[in-house]
Structure 1
Amino acid sequence: MNTLPTLTFPAWMLWVLGFLLSVPLHGQVSIQEVSGQITDQKTGQAIPFASVGVLGKPSGTVANEEGRYQLRSHQPLDSLLISAVGYQTTRVAVTGASLSVALLPATATLSEVVIRAGENPAFRILKEVHARRTTNDFRQLSGYTYEAYSQLSVGITQMDERFQQLKPVRTILQAVPKESRENLPVFASETVSRVYARRHPQLSKEEILKTNISSVGITDDSFIAMFTGAGFNTINFYENEVSLFRKAFVSPLASHGRQAYTYFLADTTQIEGRTCYTLEFDPKQEHDLVFRGRLFIDTLTYALAGIDARLGAEANINFIKGIDLSITYELSPAQVWIPSLTQLTIQASEVVKHTFGARVEYATSLHHFTAEEPRNVRFFSTNVELAADRQQASDAFWQEHRERMPSQELEKSRHLIDTVRNVPLVKKATQAAELVLNGGYLPVVKGLETGSVFSAWAYNRVEGHRLRWGLQTNASFSKTWQLSAYAAYGTRDQVWKRGGEIRFIPKRAPLTLVTLRHTYDLEQVGLRLDESGDDPFLKITNRFSRFRQAYYWGETVLAGQQDLGPNFTQTVGIRQQSLAFLFPIWLPASETGVATLTNLWTRELFIETRYAPGRLPNRRVNNRKVRQRPAETAPIVTLRYQYGTTYEPSGASSSYPSTTYHKWQLQLDHAVLWGLGGRTNYTVRAGYTPSTLPYPLLTVHQGNPTPFYNRSAFNLMQYAEFVSDRYVSLAVEHKFEGLFTNRIPLIRYWGWRNFITGKVLYGQLSAANQRLLIQPEGKPGIESLQSLPYVELGYGFENVFRIARIEALHRLTYRDHPNAQRFAIKVSFPLGL
């Protein structure tokens, strides 16, 4: 049931006063009314749906199908602006209650517009916008550059009364002025940057020239590159989808926008001295990923001159109460429209009940925009460059740039942040937050951290109680060298495990990385923990596995990585590994006999090429993940080749003779956006090993018999159930983003979103490798896929309790295998909105 919000006394008084002032009192202000007809000056025919605006006021009306209009106003009407598609905008003085206007056809080269009775006039304008989008959008230039000034502030808002009464919170609130407690700032920054871009291929580069940051907790100023001149200026309403927070919102200018929005031509208004149509748009289904707001379309060029868009709390996005986005465009000397001012406000709700919300305010202004010849592709080899003197700027420098912004509250926020940051309790809370964000590592001294507390203990049947601890450096130690090491011990196997890594970054333009790594740890055939993707939850929980086919794995790697241009990354390296099996692997020793393989040693040379067009910069350039992120919908192609040999170290023996081998692997990752239909992610993998090898050196397809979903694995396959030396697989996931669940009241209230998944695997094993698969009689073992592919399908809901994903899975083939899981329900905890 809808209820009115509880109003405090001042708010109640304002509400009553506003209501009384809005009631028209007799004799207070007279209503002026003007009516008439809009016609063509040459033909005398009526002009349907002409816009009638009040000069200097954001109000007006639209003529009907016969060109007749009626305008009523509580304010005096001096002059009107009359405009229509294909006609010159005309200003006329109001001389009486009846005013008919004849318009001259526009002399500009506007295309012919056919007006049909009953057609929404907004549709005609949208068609003209679509026809001219390539002319008006600055991103269509072959090359351009601009300077940007950006502000970002984050504040704590809407503190619950019970939360404010907590002693630690009272301590913080007592340290700041009372008027600032409604929006308590915790982060404020400003940045000046220069952005370069080219069209073919689509590349961009940003130079962070100056930064000025005040924060409670964040000390790495490279973080600010996420919110600079190139950040939110990638928002393009001319595209069908607008990407925010990895969500694809339907643009009100989308070619299929009529499916998502209702449009209304409200009036005309003046923006920067230009007459613009005002088109209001409302979502047909407010729970979808859509906006509500107004478009301002220039009447002469049909360019997007401005937009006010809002996303309400009804949208199915976690922790977001509202998003307000306002962009003002201006015509540049290059005759394209640029976003001269972008303002974004995000109101976040409570993550934990009865605590507080947050408010994020971002603004950026563009100036010195210049169209230029496309710069050489090599110029864009680095996407973000941080100037060495970026933190050196005078107060006068910043004050000059702040005057370009409509709000001058940034300096006030800085002083409040300094006050809050010095409260002892805040320092402790900051340390706790850094512990979580830093993966469980604790600071020891400047530049050195120890941990992780999240992986300090585990238990499995091989190791018993596993105890692990490590050290790593951070950016304070060096921005060129990254060092890490760990040691682990099992109380049952009483074996010490270890690992260490040295990373050297000799240069960042182009990005070059040299890595030396050594590892000795417990692994399981069919589940390499270092191949669990970027999911830290899986890496921790898999240490609790049963390790049925365990082995001690040693690896030493020396590799070099370099960007070969803006889209390619090349990696070359050598690797030596050892495998000591804790379970029997049988090999044919003669025509009738068998031998047991207990150890394997290999040396490899590997080459990997990664193609990721349109990739985005890894904005935190000092993060341990140096590789850059791909663009959200860009295909990523990875090709890897390995040449290796098996060998016997001095003083050791193996049941398998020395041999050479080759391996090829190909992977394609891609995402497709379908507007209201949702989002499809798919991955294609293929591999070929034309050599004869024991099956642990072939492709043992990754299974996952645990109750936790693993995106990289076949989730109804057992560990080491299938092996191939040639294979191709397809994994598809489609997220409907609430397309169906938003229309079911109870499910919509819960915020659940449904999805479907499917995985298919074709694989073969050569006759030579098939002969090496020997299992003791009566015991199930690893097998090769036959002519029938392995198939599993799934469906389920994500965003359960805002954090969980629950999926039901069906195995459609090889259902009669021993211990086969035909059906399972699995859970995971992906992070996201």
Structure 2
Amino acid sequence: MSKKAYLLFIFFFSLNLIQAQTKVGGVVNDNSGKTVPFANVVFANSSSGTTTNEDGEFYLQDEGSFDTIVISFIGYKTLKVPLQASVNLNMEITLEEEAASLDEVVIYRGKTSKKNNPAIDILKKVWENRRKNGMRAFEQYSYKEYEKLEFDINTIDSTLIESRIFNGMEFIFDYADTNRVTGKTYLPMFINESVTNVYGDNQLKEEKEVLIGNKNSGFSQNRNLIDYVKDIYDDYDIYKNYIKFFDKSFVSPISTTGIDTYNYVLSDSAYIDNKWCYNIVYYPRRENELTFKGDFWVNDTTWAVKNINLETTKDVNINWIKQVYIEQDFEVLNDSVFLITRDFFMADFGLNKKKTSRGVYAKRTLLYDEYKFNNERPASFYQQPVYDPQSVAYNRSEEFWTENRMEKLNEDEEGIYIMLDSLTKTKAFNRLYDIATIAQSGYVEFDGWDYGPVYSTLGFNDVEGVRTRFGGRTYFGQNDPWRIEAYGAYGFKDNKFKYGVSGKVLLDPKSRLILSGGNRRDVEQLGTSLTNSTDVLGRSLASSSLLNVGDNDKLSSINLSVFSVQLEPFKNFTVRVGANYRELKPASPEFSLDYYVDKDRSIVDSEINQTELSTILTWTPGRKTSGYGVERNVVNEEDFPTLFLNYSLGVKDVFNSDFNYKKLQFFYNQPLLVGGLGRSNISVEAGKTFGAVPLGLLSVVPGNQTYFALYNTFPTLDFYEFVTDSYSAIHIDHNFNGRLFSRIPLLRELNLRELVGFRAVYGDISEESKNIDASGLPLIAPDSDPFYEYSVGIGNIFKVMRFDVHFRGNYFDNPDARSLAFTIDFGFHF
């Protein structure tokens, strides 16, 4: 289960409430009985409104008291409908068609024209003036931001209330209410508030956030949970071509690419805050694409957006999300500048998109105030501190929140804190919380230590047969200054016991000076990664390869001891200096690591003893972490680049070490959102070993003889098919996110994703290394031409599986060369 999927499970057990005064809902039809999609529905004499969905349905809620709603759409007579009560649901409304509406407006229905369309003429003026609006108009800026995050269980009914899972927690249903966007009954579960000062410099292209207050209901000690909640949301800008969230790029209706994606209709014009504005309704031209529907108001002099509503359509190709709804409001700073003042985001999570299915609302409200401009600060001001515990921010008084909230909590929202604190004291809730924690972390929590990872308890490989593993770690809290981990394993085929133990301690939080060390004796599949890892408790592929292609007996026994010193001189840049000692030998009689120890090639040794010194530099710009202990949790996984440089020095005769050599390795990984074309991941690896070394110390091009996808491996290669001491490799994978399939009738209904990939490696092996090899394996390097393979695949099968077919591009004459390979992978992806 992914971390964000874990959150959805956890959030089924918390709460929130917004008291509404007027609620309306129903369907809008025309004279012939057909539904009218994208019609405007507003409370009379207010700016509170919505649009009907693709089926003509609507729901509207407001805390004020209203007695009339107004329904309008181009091509129909505007209709005012009196309300009989404060709650009016299941309304059936019929609009009458008319020949024309506003004199200056050309009437459009269905697909609108891109020519002679006044809505598009207005949109072009927005494009021309967008860089003059907002904070882009100033060299520097700062403002205060108030954020409120809420999670709710939705579609509350008697079945859920009477469920045994809530035994002992029945009191929480007193807090149920109706969502103002969808009309569903919901139960508030979680609320988190934060106040942040934001500073930016448009010339330096730098921005800095300083958290000054944070408060949440029921989970104040779980920083991981809070940070995961915050990371569900991404920052977005409606003026850019794409609005990015949930790892997807939605076409913005304000963007220059919007006219090829949306239909636009000039619907209305009116004064808003003493500014004359035009209202434009927009909706998608095609189904199953990453698009919105809604409307926006544009000022007629600055051509800036005054407010906008964005709502995903029901057929949008995104998993686990039934609907996303966004509102943004902007305020006039002067005659030429608009600034955002409010941003509301709501996602309706669910296992499917049926209207009656239960799910979770994730809501974020952002309010902005105290804008200041052109206050220049030095570049050093924007450098993020390595050590930033912010303990004061998480312990603010009620007086602080009364003063700094930009939107006062209503009575029901304030009651959430009391209810959640009570809920977390119930045994029933804590049982559910513990189960979800195990699913996310893989560890069973006890007092001061955790058992796990539970997913590694059972395994299988050709040498050990069935393998059992039991382990654990010390854990007193997320910010522990030290940690010890250990495990023991036993193979029922080789009847041998294996183990691993490691420890690390944080000596200086400000520079993140960490000492670490450990020892592991286990069975391992060497050559599964070009970039070496000295993680003493690294997961062994040998213990998890349940299904293999052909024989997989090239396993090694390793005795690895490691010691290192690590520090972080500036944020997200780490320097690690370490030493390791390895004893390597074959784990099965069918495999050999033999090498000659004399120039005459008459004496053979089958065990490698090697001492190695290493200096590793790692830079991860944009990485976000949680906590400040010896281990930090990465919040935004797969959202930042990684650069890795390793210089290793093999030292002979130290602890009976066998070889002198130098090794240089470089690794670069870059995830990319390619606009509306989907998401790519590109990685580049290069390395060279200076000096003659045996097979166990060479760089093996990582093959994959399993049926499961393994990161940066070559699925059509067998283990040890290519061996090098100098190499360069590239891996490119791209997911089109259904952009092509969405244009094919019938196929678009399956919401599948198109996948393509390309991988190549070029390498060589020196004659000196070949001459000392006595393993009997053919030492082949891709030196005549780069080896390459390509793949095509289908993702999002049953929403959790991908299937790829891999094709070898060359080197078909290698022994037992496979021209074709198949892999599958499982995971939760939006």
Secondary structure of the structure 1 residue equivalent to 2:544? helix
C-alpha separation in 2, matches of 1:670 and 1:117: 37
Aligned to 1:238: 239
Change (3 A) 1:377 1:178: closer
Aligned to 2:4: none
Change (3 A) 1:210 1:539: farther
- Equivalences for residues 415-454 of structure 1 within 5 A: 415-439=418-442, 441-445=443-447, 447-454=448-455
Is 1:185 matched with 2:193?
Answer: no
C-alpha separation in 2, matches of 1:348 and 1:539: 37
Aligned to 2:121: 124
Aligned to 1:556: 561
Deviations 1:606-661 (A, max 9, x none): 22333444x142245569455685883x65433222222243635xxx8xxx4421
Aligned length: 729
C-alpha separation in 2, matches of 1:61 and 1:17: 14
Shift, 1:214, TM fit: 1.4
Shift, 1:417, TM fit: 2.9
Change (3 A) 1:727 1:140: farther
Shift, 1:377, TM fit: 3.3
Aligned to 1:816: 813
Alpha carbons 2:478, 2:627 under 8 Å: kept: no
C-alpha separation in 2, matches of 1:586 and 1:744: 57
Counterpart amino acid of 1:389? V
C-alpha separation in 1, matches of 2:250 and 2:262: 12
Q: Which moved more, 1:730-739 or 1:459-468?
A: 459-468
Is 1:598 matched with 2:621?
Answer: no
Change (3 A) 1:252 1:816: same
Counterpart amino acid of 1:830? G
C-alpha separation in 2, matches of 1:122 and 1:206: 38
C-alpha separation in 1, matches of 2:625 and 2:797: 30
Change (3 A) 1:596 1:237: farther
Secondary structure of the structure 1 residue equivalent to 2:718? coil
C-alpha separation in 2, matches of 1:498 and 1:450: 15
Is 1:145 matched with 2:153?
Answer: no
- Equivalences for residues 204-603 of structure 1 within 5 A: 204-215=207-218, 219-221=221-223, 223-225=225-227, 234-332=235-333, 337-350=338-351, 356-371=358-373, 372-377=375-380, 379-382=382-385, 385-402=388-405, 404=407, 409-439=412-442, 441-445=443-447, 447-474=448-475, 476=477, 478-509=479-510, 511-527=512-528, 541-542=544-545, 548-566=553-571, 568-582=573-587, 583-588=591-596, 593-603=601-611
Shift, 1:16, TM fit: 8.1
Change (3 A) 1:685 1:591: closer
Aligned to 1:33: none
C-alpha separation in 1, matches of 2:334 and 2:580: 56
Deviations 1:69-99 (A, max 9, x none): x998678xxxxxxxxxxxxxxxxxxxxxx99
- Equivalences for residues 550-699 of structure 1 within 5 A: 550-566=555-571, 568-582=573-587, 583-588=591-596, 593-613=601-621, 615-619=622-626, 624-625=631-632, 632=639, 635-647=641-653, 649=655, 658-699=658-699
Shift, 1:783, TM fit: 2.0
Shift, 1:321, TM fit: 0.7
Shift, 1:579, TM fit: 1.7
Deviations 1:126-169 (A, max 9, x none): 33333333332425754433222211111111257655554334
C-alpha separation in 2, matches of 1:317 and 1:357: 15
Change (3 A) 1:419 1:406: closer
Aligned to 1:85: none
Q: Which has the higher contact order (CA 8 A, sep 6+)?
A: 2
Q: Which moved more, 1:425-434 or 1:520-529?
A: 520-529
Counterpart amino acid of 2:522? D
Change (3 A) 1:194 1:619: farther
C-alpha separation in 1, matches of 2:781 and 2:612: 25
Secondary structure of the structure 1 residue equivalent to 2:748? helix
Alpha carbons 1:204, 1:383 under 8 Å: kept: no
Counterpart amino acid of 1:710? L
C-alpha separation in 1, matches of 2:693 and 2:157: 64
Shift, 1:747, TM fit: 2.8
Counterpart amino acid of 2:298? I
C-alpha separation in 1, matches of 2:310 and 2:249: 15
Change (3 A) 1:174 1:331: closer
Secondary structure of the structure 2 residue equivalent to 1:278? strand
Q: Which moved more, 1:271-280 or 1:623-632?
A: 623-632
Superposition RMSD in Å: 4.0
- Equivalences for residues 93-132 of structure 1 within 5 A: 118-132=115-129
- TM-score, with normalisation over the residues of structure 2? 0.78
Alpha carbons 1:601, 1:647 under 8 Å: kept: no
Alpha carbons 1:517, 1:558 under 8 Å: kept: yes
Alpha carbons 1:458, 1:544 under 8 Å: kept: no
Change (3 A) 1:626 1:214: closer
Q: Which moved more, 1:732-741 or 1:623-632?
A: 623-632
Alpha carbons 1:458, 1:467 under 8 Å: kept: yes
C-alpha separation in 2, matches of 1:612 and 1:178: 43
C-alpha separation in 2, matches of 1:310 and 1:539: 48
Aligned to 2:734: 734
Alpha carbons 1:223, 1:619 under 8 Å: kept: no
Alpha carbons 1:260, 1:676 under 8 Å: kept: no
Aligned to 1:763: 763
Alpha carbons 2:482, 2:630 under 8 Å: kept: no
C-alpha separation in 2, matches of 1:100 and 1:334: 28
Structure 2: segments with no counterpart, 5+ residues: 1-22, 34-68, 81-100, 105-112, 179-184
Alpha carbons 1:141, 1:199 under 8 Å: kept: yes
Secondary structure of the structure 2 residue equivalent to 1:682? strand
Shift, 1:200, TM fit: 5.4
Change (3 A) 1:471 1:275: same
Change (3 A) 1:620 1:607: same
Change (3 A) 1:456 1:775: closer
C-alpha separation in 1, matches of 2:250 and 2:568: 32
C-alpha separation in 1, matches of 2:124 and 2:770: 63
Deviations 1:18-66 (A, max 9, x none): 999xx9xxxxxxxxxxxxxxxxxxxxxxxxxxxxxxxxx999999xxxx
C-alpha separation in 2, matches of 1:497 and 1:695: 24
Deviations 1:353-381 (A, max 9, x none): 99731111111212222233144336423
Secondary structure of the structure 1 residue equivalent to 2:772? coil
Alpha carbons 2:626, 2:634 under 8 Å: kept: no
Alpha carbons 2:72, 2:79 under 8 Å: kept: no
Secondary structure of the structure 2 residue equivalent to 1:585? coil
C-alpha separation in 2, matches of 1:589 and 1:565: 45
Q: Which moved more, 1:533-542 or 1:476-485?
A: 533-542
Secondary structure of the structure 2 residue equivalent to 1:417? helix
Aligned to 1:41: none
Alpha carbons 2:596, 2:603 under 8 Å: kept: yes
C-alpha separation in 1, matches of 2:358 and 2:232: 27
Counterpart amino acid of 1:609? L
C-alpha separation in 2, matches of 1:287 and 1:117: 22
Q: Which moved more, 1:759-768 or 1:160-169?
A: 160-169
- TM-score, with normalisation over the residues of structure 1? 0.78
C-alpha separation in 1, matches of 2:426 and 2:135: 47
Shift, 1:516, TM fit: 2.8
C-alpha separation in 2, matches of 1:553 and 1:221: 37
Deviations 1:169-203 (A, max 9, x none): 46544653285593222212212222333445544
Counterpart amino acid of 1:242? I
Secondary structure of the structure 1 residue equivalent to 2:455? helix
Deviations 1:741-760 (A, max 9, x none): 11234332222111111111
Counterpart amino acid of 2:680? T
Look at both structures and tell me which one has the larger radius of gyration over its CA atoms. 1
